[in-house]
Structure 1
């Protein structure tokens, strides 16, 4: 399920609904993981494998 923008309240609601039916329906990507582990921030789970990194919206922090 891909939407533009990919993350809004409709998207979040859909992941909760998909999570409720996941025991009765084959769902490839776990709705909980899709909702709670955004791909751009998932890498922070592997800090020991990463070079020095900054997550920022500000060009001045770089």
Structure 2
């Protein structure tokens, strides 16, 4: 299993996007919530791929 800096940064950015979505929900900013949810979905999918290929050993 080889984990590099990019993989770690993807998880950190996912965390920050999730925090931003929750803060946008509290601020009732609909555009920011929509944009954040789409971004969060893309980053969660990418994180899933990182975990899948890291554990598969490819």
TM-score normalised according to structure 1 size: 0.36
TM-score normalized by the length of structure 2: 0.37
Q: Which has the higher contact order (CA 8 A, sep 6+)?
A: 2
